[in-house]
């Protein structure tokens, strides 16, 4: 299944207005993350790394991105819902919001008005400022849900899109029960901040630096260190050239941990109709 950006967006942007409530929210989370040196423990650091992988690689990269946005493979509905919950726990927005924005990014890559996080507007805009200056086309539910109609029709995704912030409460309670405030600071606030910025690197740095394997109609790049931080998403030029392929790292040395998880699901029979790179573009041994 393929998705386009219809209906179209207006050419002229609305005047940018800074959302002080959004700035306050992100500043608060960052400030709480800065408490981490006073709450350090090795187990707490381990919790950060574990949840960064679980909510980042499985929830966002595999779930929100490759499964829901591009439908590059299929899983049973119960598993799709479970993975979507992991994505929602990343605190990067609900599934309808995330998927709609990402499909617009691919439909209008780097267009200054139609791409929500256009890299053409500079590093800081594509990294975070697009969130601080929210445009109605991308942040008003009645507008953006039109770009993810398959999810908007589903009551579960509508519920998750609306109430995803509340999922942090049971996570924080569980972490406090297991390890006190140290686990909460590291497992909620530090994990959230690190995962935010590593995900945002794909919007910013991989449209600025790196090498290009394909002549895509944009400035997407393959950047090794971004791929490491994002479990394979940093092979961004590969992805923009073939967005519906489940595998972002195509060559043997392009490490793609998220693809390893998809391949495991396929091996045990939980992932089907997995879209692979076109055979003519690959060398023997790259897959």
Query: Could you tell me the residue ranges of all domains in the chain?
Result: 42-90+161-281
* Confidence bin at 279 (pLDDT 50/70/90): confident
The rounded percent of the chain whose pLDDT value lies above 70 is: 92
The whole-angstrom separation of Cα 226 and Cα 231 is: 8
Give the lowest-confidence range in 111-120, 153-162, 174-183: 111-120
- Does 30 have pLDDT greater than 50? yes
- Three-state SS for 222? strand
Give the lowest-confidence range in 33-47, 103-117, 152-166: 103-117
Amino acid 1: pLDDT:
41
The whole-angstrom separation of Cα 62 and Cα 257 is: 10
The rounded percent of the chain whose pLDDT value lies above 90 is: 88
- Three-state SS for 17? coil
- Does 202 have pLDDT greater than 90? yes
Amino acid 285: pLDDT:
36
**Residue closest to 49 by CA, chosen among 201, 227, 183, 165:** 183
**For residue 195, is the peptide bond before it cis, meaning its omega torsion is within 30 degrees of 0?**
no
Q: What is the mean pLDDT of residues 145-166?
A: 97
Q: What burial letters (b/e) apply to 54-89, b meaning 16+ CB within 10 Å?
A: ebbbbbbbbbbbbbbbbbbbebeeeebbebbbbbbb
Helix count (H) and strand count (E) of the chain?
15, 0
């Amino acid at each position: 299944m393929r998705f386009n950006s219809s209906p179209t967006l207006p050419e002229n942007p609305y005047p940018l207005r800074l959302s002080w409530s959004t700035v306050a929210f992100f500043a608060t989370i960052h400030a709480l993350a800065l408490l981490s040196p006073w709450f350090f423990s090795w187990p707490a650091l381990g919790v950060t790394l574990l949840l960064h992988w679980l909510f980042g690689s499985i929830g966002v990269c595999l779930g929100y991105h490759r499964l829901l946005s591009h439908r590059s493979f299929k899983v049973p509905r119960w598993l799709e819902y479970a993975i979507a919950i992991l994505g929602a726990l990343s605190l990067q927005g609900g599934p309808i919001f995330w998927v709609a924005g990402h499909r617009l990014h691919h439909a209008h890559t780097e267009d200054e008005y139609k791409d929500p996080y256009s890299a053409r507007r500079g590093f800081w805009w594509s990294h975070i400022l697009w969130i601080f200056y929210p445009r109605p086309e991308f942040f008003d539910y009645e507008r953006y849900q039109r770009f993810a109609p398959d999810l908007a029709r589903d009551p579960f995704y509508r519920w998750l899109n609306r109430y995803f912030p509340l999922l942090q409460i049971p996570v924080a309670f569980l972490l406090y029960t297991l390890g006190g405030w140290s686990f909460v600071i590291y497992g909620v606030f530090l994990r959230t901040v690190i995962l935010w910025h590593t995900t945002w690197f794909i919007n910013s740095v991989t449209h600025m630096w790196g090498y290009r394997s394909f002549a895509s109609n944009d400035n997407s790049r393959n950047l090794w260190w971004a791929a490491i931080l994002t479990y394979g998403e940093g092979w961004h030029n590969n992805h923009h050239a073939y967005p519906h392929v489940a595998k972002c790292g195509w060559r043997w040395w392009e490490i793609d941990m998220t693809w390893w998880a998809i391949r495991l699901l396929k091996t045990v029979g939980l992932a089907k109709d997995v879209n692979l790179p076109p055979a003519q573009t690959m060398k023997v041994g790259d897959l």
